[in-house]
Structure 1
């Protein structure tokens, strides 16, 4: 069985580096949110849930996660 050179894809170093960067960003964000836990814990329980939900969603938009994923896939910092 021969490999068709038109369909051969060389593995990219960007994916493992990007995955390590994502893990580092998640850890950094967790430390930041954890440092706010004293303040968030002083809020009533009905206010804590939305704060944690918003913080869980916001990191995707504030941290360069979307651009990092685009870079991992294409080698460029934006799709297009």
Structure 2
């Protein structure tokens, strides 16, 4: 039994670009508040940046996107 000829998928490069663009947009959005946040105490700035550093993971649809990149389906 022979394996079918392997064909590279276009989904992986597209998915990687989508993830990079999402991260870039998120960083620009948060950095746009940097001058406002600079007036706050350092400990509060730290909490805000840690919070928003974790929030993008929770709101990002990375699991379905990664599944689509691998299988071509959005749902498991």
Structure 1 unaligned runs (5+)? none
Aligned length: 75
Deviation by residue 1:17-53 (Cα, 9 ceiling, x = unmatched): 0011111111100110011112222211011112111
TM-score, normalised on structure 2? 0.82
Cα pair distance change 1:77/1:34, threshold 3 Å:
same
- Asked if the contact 1:60–1:66 (Cα under 8 Å) also holds between the matched residues in 2, the reply is no
User: What is the RMSD computed on CA atoms of the aligned residues?
Assistant: 1.6
Structure 2 unaligned runs (5+)? none
**Deviation >6 Å, runs of 4+:** none
TM-score, normalised on structure 1? 0.79
Instruction: Output the CA distance in 2 between the equivalents of 1:47 and 1:62.
Output: 22
Instruction: Output the CA distance in 2 between the equivalents of 1:41 and 1:66.
Output: 34
How do 1:34-49 residues align onto structure 2 when only pairs under 5 Å count? 34-49=31-46
